[in-house]
Amino acid sequence: MAANMGSMRILIKGGKVVNDDFTHEADVYIENGIIQQVGKELMIPGGAKVIDASGKLVLPGGIDTSVHLQQTFMNASIQDDFYSGTKEDDMTSKDFAVFGADASVETRLESHGMLAEVR
């Protein structure tokens, strides 16, 4: 979030929080774009915008499972490389790799890994 926005407070209330290792009913308190608390009966400063997430899944941080970094696809080049596509700390991503059917898993990992190490 931009530094000049002042103090922005958001409470996502009553959702089912999904993390990498468990799922539970909880509230998520965010201040200035950073998750500060996850739990029930949180102590929240005044002025927070409340979002009702009842009956919804809440994925703190987010996970993008179909990122295309530094690839050419259908005669178009992807603008993001490994550096620009992963420099933001707000999301976890899994890069999508496209290789020919005859490439071994080792070959795929090695060539894809070399792209990530360029910077």
Q: What is the pLDDT of residue 38?
A: 92
Mean pLDDT value of segment 22-31: 92
Q: Supply 102's token pair.
A: 């005859």
What is the dihedral angle through the alpha carbons of 109, 85, 90, 32, rounded to the nearest 10 degrees?
170
In the chain, list all ranges with CATH 2.30.40.10.
3-58
pLDDT in tens, 96-106: 556 666 767 67
Contact 102, 73 (CB under 8 A): no
pLDDT in tens, 48-93: 999 999 999 998 776 666 666 667 767 777 666 666 666 655 455 5
Q: What is the pLDDT of residue 26?
A: 95
Enumerate the β-bridge partners of residue 17.
24, 58
pLDDT band at 108 (very low <50, low <70, confident <90, very high): low
Q: What is the pLDDT of residue 22?
A: 82
Q: What is the pLDDT of residue 1?
A: 40
3-state SS assignment for residue 66: strand
Query: Would you say residue 43 has pLDDT above 70?
Result: yes
Superfamily of domain 3-58: Urease, subunit C, domain 1 (2.30.40.10)
Query: Would you say residue 4 has pLDDT above 60?
Result: no
Give percent of the chain with pLDDT exceeding 70.
52
